[in-house]
Amino acid sequence: MDNRLEIFLKSVTDYADAQCKKLERTAETQTQKEITAYKKQAVDISKSNTNREIGKIQSEAALKAAEYESGKRLALSNLRNELADGIFDEATLKIRDFTASAEYSAFLKRSAQRLVGAVGTEIIFYIRPCDAVYSSVLKEVAPQAEIRESEQIKLGGIIATDKSENLRADDTLESRLGDEKKAFFENADFKVF
């Protein structure tokens, strides 16, 4: 009977050892699965954090670049405006000199001829009060024209309307200078980048 007891105990012990080894393998496999899952989760979190930080850095860099570009554009725009103001202030002075010269009379005559062509012979000429001395020049072009003084005209030239004042043509030096200023800004395409 001792032999049977020994065989039984050995059998139970072998079975218990086999079950322990099986549990150890299962535990080791489960531990490896969990370690792998934790490693993957840690890598995913690390990638997510890295991508978030890279995104923040890229956003900050883009914002700084935009601020820099905006500042440079503003500085260039201010410089262009200063340049334009200087140029057009100088042009205004030259226009004032021109209106005081002998050529101004011929200019008014050519202007009146263009305006008669645009508006017709039944015309009203508006001129600066100080240009009233040139009324005879305008009457040479359009004898039946009415000549009126206008405080709106500051630099010189003529505004013309038909007698019903439905048609209006502006050939003042202000409008010409304004057109030049507009063309200057349209064509002075300063580039920063």
Per residue of the chain (193 residues), give pLDDT as tens: 567 777 777 777 877 777 878 878 887 888 888 888 888 888 888 888 888 888 888 888 888 888 888 888 888 778 877 887 888 889 899 999 999 999 999 999 999 999 999 998 889 999 999 999 999 999 999 999 999 999 999 999 999 999 988 899 999 999 999 998 888 877 766 554 4
Q: How many CB atoms are located within 10 Å of the residue 176 CB? A: 17
CA–CA separation, 85 and 173 (whole Å): 17
* Length of the chain measured in residues: 193
pLDDT at 131: 95
Per the listing, tokens 């009324």 go with 135
The domain segmentation of the chain, as residue ranges, is 101-187
Q: ∠175-173-77 over CA atoms, to 5°?
A: 55
Pairing of strands 123-127, 146-149: parallel
Class of the domain covering 101-187: alpha beta
The 3 state secondary structure assigned to the chain is: CHHHHHHHHHHHHHHHHHHHHHHHHHHHHHHHHHHHHHHHHHHHHHHHHHHHHHHHHHHHHHHHHHHHHHHHHHHHHHHHHHHHHHHHHHHHHHHHHHHCCCHHHHHHHHHHHHHHHHHCCCEEEEECHHHHHHHHHHHHHCCCCEEEECCCCCCCEEEEEECCCCCEEEEEHHHHHHHHHHHHHHHCCCCCC
pLDDT at 189: 63
CA–CA separation, 151 and 147 (whole Å): 13
pTM of the predicted model, to two decimals?
0.61
145 residue type, one letter: A
